[in-house]
Amino acid sequence: MTLVEIAGAGLAELTCARLLADRGHRVRLPPPRPSAPTVGADPRPLLLTGPTLELVGSLWGGGLIEDGWPITHRHARWGAGPSPAPFPQPGRVMDGVLLAARMRERLGAGDRSQEPPEWTVTATSGEQPVHERPVHEQPVHEQTGRRRLLAGIAPLRRRRDQDTARLDCTALGWLHLTPLGRGDCLVQAMVPGPAQAPAELLAGLLAESAFDALLRRPPRTAVALAAAPRVHLAPAVPPTLGSGGLLVVGAGALRYDPLSGTGTAQALRTAILAAAVIDAAATGRPATALCAHYTDRLRAAFREHLHTCLRLYTTAFGTGPWQDEIDATRAALRTGRQPLRALD
């Protein structure tokens, strides 16, 4: 049995822990966080739909997300086209912090030994934010573009809008509205490049969009989060004599543009793959080849995602402010690191 250190309590790390424990490996876990929402806690609302819900259910069983806010429909207008009718798309809106706390509770105490682990699984990439990074330090990710996601919470005008997730576009970027229940919604807007004064920028975009009519007012505060796709350059390091192996999972390994709406599913897939690497290494398969395979799979998924981004962003924002992001995506597909070998 392999001893694995799980270095954090994110969705991908905990899912990897669960899979490893199920296969009989020893997992050392961070201490649990309370699953009851605490006053002042910073919620991370996630909209989970079809395949993501199925994946969470198949990996963890029931009881984790059923009390999330239910969404029944989706309404999506992409680019400058006309507004199509909403269509049925069931989903749940779940606080990612609460979900992770519930997963952690299910894992119990874990291994309590002081032995050095054979592997460490982490969702933290170890990269410093650009403004804190010493000039000589190389980035650990390949990143495509500089886009930012603005996010804030606002009250809906009508209760009947609480069951539909919406996507709309302005000339500067796309916007997403996720109902949260109790009359509130999360509004997000993707803009190309850095964003000063996020609340003002978000309010301006909302005023230009179809969401303006749905909200009682724009969010009072907003954050601007780095949201350009990126992939870790060395997400898997095999164990060597005297030091354990390392696997980076989740968004630390592979970050999708939130437009995909599949970030959580993707994070869980990295966890499945990382658990398979550790499990296969325990049966004697060479860890170096397994780590190369892990890296390749991530790069292949990243390139496929970039192709999707290129297709969507050129359709909706072919000229103007998005040109630099589109050019960066084309350049990454032309010159970025390719998977090293054929994937199975």
* 47 and 69 Cβ atoms separated by less than 8 Å: no
Q: Which among 82-90, 95-103, 127-135, 301-309 is the span making contact with ligand FAD, rule CB under 6 A? A: 95-103
* Sequence letter at residue 6: I
CA-only gyration radius of the chain, Å: 21
| 265-304 footprint of ligand FAD as x/- string (CB under 6 A) | --x-------------------------------------
31 exposed, middle or buried (CB, 10 Å; 0-12, 13-18, 19+)?
exposed
Is 150 a binder of ligand FAD (CB under 6 A)? no
* Closest to ligand FAD by CB, 11 or 185: 11
Separation of alpha carbons 288 and 273, rounded Å: 15
Binning the chain into helix, strand and coil, the percentages to the nearest 5 are: 40, 25, 35
Closest CA to 176 of 154, 200, 144, 143: 154
Reference 145, options 293, 5, 255, 278; nearest CA is 255
Among 98, 149, 206, 236, binds ligand FAD (CB under 6 A): 149
Tokens found for residue 284: 């004697």
- The residue among 80 and 98 lying less far from ligand FAD, judged by its C-beta, is 98
**One of 46, 71, 190, 298 touching ligand FAD (CB under 6 A):** 46
Looking at 17, 29, 32, 52, which residue binds ligand FAD (CB under 6 A)? 52
> Contact letters (x/-) for ligand FAD, 53-92, by CB under 6 A?
----------------------------------------
How far CA 199 is from CA of 177, 217, 326, in Å, comes to: 15, 12, 25
Task: Give the nearest distance from C-beta 302 to ligand FAD in angstroms.
Answer: 13
Task: Kindly tell me which residue out of 5, 10, 189, 235 binds ligand FAD, with binding defined by CB under 6 A.
Answer: 10
Q: Which residues contact 181 (CB under 8 A, 6 or more apart)?
A: 69, 93, 162
Question: Which helix (H) or strand (E) covers residue 99, if one does?
Answer: helix 96-106
Angle subtended at Cα 213 by Cα 212 and Cα 217, rounded to the nearest 5 degrees? 55
Question: Smallest distance, Å, CB 48 to ligand FAD?
Answer: 6
Residue from 91, 110, 239, 258 in contact with ligand FAD (CB under 6 A): 258
Q: How far is the CB of 53 from ligand FAD (least distance, A)?
A: 10
The answer to whether residue 48 forms part of the interface with ligand FAD (CB under 6 A) is: yes
Task: Kindly tell me which of 71 and 328 has the beta carbon lying closer to ligand FAD.
Answer: 71
Sheet containing 174-181, strands listed edge to edge, beginning at the edge strand earlier in sequence: 45-49, 87-95, 69-76, 164-169, 174-181, 184-191, 148-155, 223-226
Using the rule CB under 6 A, give the single segment among 9-17, 21-29, 58-66, 240-248 that binds ligand FAD.
Answer: 9-17
How far is residue 265's CA from residue 254's CA, in Å, rounded to a whole number?
12
Our finding on whether 248 is near ligand FAD (CB under 6 A) is no
Which residues of this chain interact with ligand FAD, rule CB under 6 A?
A: 8-13, 42, 46-48, 52, 96-97, 100, 123-124, 149, 151, 225, 250-252, 258, 261-264, 267
